[in-house]
Amino acid sequence: MTTRSADPALDRWGFSAWLDATRRSGDFVMPPELDDVNDAVISVDGRKMINFAGIGILGWQHDPEVRRVFAETAATYGLVVGGSRLVQGVSRPHLELERLVAEISGKEKALTFATGLLANVGFVNAMSAAFSFDDRVGVDNADAVLVLDRRSHWSVWKGTEGFERGRNLFAFRHNDPAHLRELLEQLRGRPVIVGFETVYSADGSIAPIGAILDLCDEFGAVSFADDANGFMVYGNGGHRFAAEYEALRRVTFLMVSFGKGVGLSGGALAGPADAIDAFHYLSGTSMFTTNIQPPTAGAIVHVLRRMRQDPSVMERYLDRVDGLRARLLEIGCAINPTPTYVTSIAIGSRDVGLRVRQEFLDRGYLVPMFGYPAVKKDAAVIRLLMNDRIADKDLNGFVDTLAELRHRYEF
């Protein structure tokens, strides 16, 4: 259905013309409307679909104990934080969660945010802020220099809008410590922050964490790792990427999301105590907005404790992902070489991507197709964070359908 702007003053923004054209070409896809709970099988307009598009991989929200803790925390602490933390105060579930995140990450302190995206934007803001209450003592870090892996998440780049490329903002080639070294050599003597992701959500690669942190040590740079995708998936006693996650303990600042491994929502920054305390003011995304809802904070604490107590739940899940990767290779798919739980299946052009997505929909599978700008042009991928609640028969159905479509569309 086409809508028209009622306000002619909006015409020059071009939304209607762009929508008309992209709806006709099939590029513009509205999100499916879900009839009930997000799960491995969802209902879209009354039709059951196998859901490969979710990110809450273990489905903790369906666990009866998690639901009980959520309800009890809501009864005690209510549904909302009720205002900005500095003005309104902070509830116990948040403080408990922050203590736990600091303990898990081996950092002095942690600060929670409504989402991981806000933690990232706030981090960049805080590390480059010039601020003082009274013009006497203050911080002035306007000369900070950011050096980011080129494929860092949108939220980190969004935070850099006050920076200027080539002056105080630099990008190193994806996962390339040699290029990072070149940049750090040029930037000697300046206050540098090196930012990277642990597990990259678009291509499923993992950063050379130890090598990057060695360079930070050598050049005296502060380090920042966005562990949105890896938090509680790796580094919790499991054997996969154990060396990388051991090295990660040396990072200065760690950002985590509670949306992926933990399967709920929210985010946090962990790091040295004074910096984290200063971030209450300097991040902006702590002071100028609200935080995770208290029942969710309580539920996250519960899930984190369970995951620490029994890492085998995640290990069994990761074994299943390895099984899926093996099957995808058997049918000849090109997938990301690093065996993280992020499975990226190369499709190619955006056009083929859209058709494959529609074919899956017609057969009852909601499949996440990533096109530009999430990935490079003509490098569309199916990006799976497999949901552990998907039944084996549905996984098999997905692989069989993929094999058939691969043959038809030659990807």
Ligand X SMILES: Cc1ncc(COP(=O)(O)O)c(C=O)c1O
175 sits near ligand X (criterion: CB under 6 A) = no
Looking at residue 234, the DSSP 8-state letter turns out to be: B
* Alpha helices (runs of H) in 283-349, residue ranges in sequence order: 294-309, 312-330
β-bridge partners, 54: none
Min. distance of Cβ 390 from ligand X in angstroms? 20
| 406 bridge partner residues | none
Q: Which residues of 140-171 are buried (b: 16+ CB within 10 A; e: fewer)?
A: eeeebbbbbbebbbebbbebbeebeeeebbbb
Residue selected from 54, 259, 295, 298 as contacting ligand X according to rule CB under 6 A: 259
Q: Site map for ligand X, 362-381, x if CB under 6 A?
A: --------------------
Q: How far is the CB of 153 from ligand X (least distance, A)?
A: 4
Least distance between ligand X and beta carbon 118 (Å): 7
Question: What count of Cα atoms within 13 Å lies in the side-chain half-sphere of residue 380?
Answer: 18
Q: Is 111 in the site for ligand X (CB under 6 A)?
A: no
Place of tokens 């964490």: 209
Q: Under the criterion CB under 6 A, does residue 340 sit at the interface with ligand X?
A: no
Residue placing its CB nearer to ligand X in the complex, 115 or 344: 115
Shortest distance (Å) from residue 322 CB to ligand X: 21
Provide the mask over 206-245, with x wherever binding to ligand X is found by CB under 6 A and - wherever it is not. --------------------x-xx----------------
Among the listed residues 115, 286, 291, 343, the single contact to ligand X using CB under 6 A? 115
Type and span of the H or E element at 194: strand 192-197
Q: Which is nearer to ligand X, 16 or 289 (CB)?
A: 289
Long-range contacts of 28-31 (CB under 8 A, 24+ apart): 29/354, 29/357
Among 105, 175, 201, 283, binds ligand X (CB under 6 A): 201
Region 265-294 residues binding ligand X, contact defined as CB under 6 A: 267
Minimum CB–partner distance for residue 15 and ligand X (Å): 25
CB 211 within 8 A of CB 175: no
Sheet-wide strand order for 365-366: 41-44, 47-51, 365-366
Tokens representing residue 349 in the block: 């052009």
Tell me the window of 114-122, 303-311, 331-339, 360-368 that interacts with ligand X (CB under 6 A): 114-122
Measured from the CB atom, the residue of 51 and 257 that comes closer to ligand X is 257
CB 297 within 8 A of CB 266: yes
Sheet order of strands, 169-172 included: 109-113, 267-271, 253-257, 222-226, 192-197, 145-149, 169-172
Residue of minimal Cβ distance to ligand X: 116
Closer Cβ to ligand X, 18 or 154, answer by number: 154
Q: Which is nearer to ligand X, 85 or 153 (CB)?
A: 153
Residues in contact with ligand X by the rule CB under 6 A = 115-117, 120, 153, 155, 197, 201, 226, 228-229, 257, 259, 267
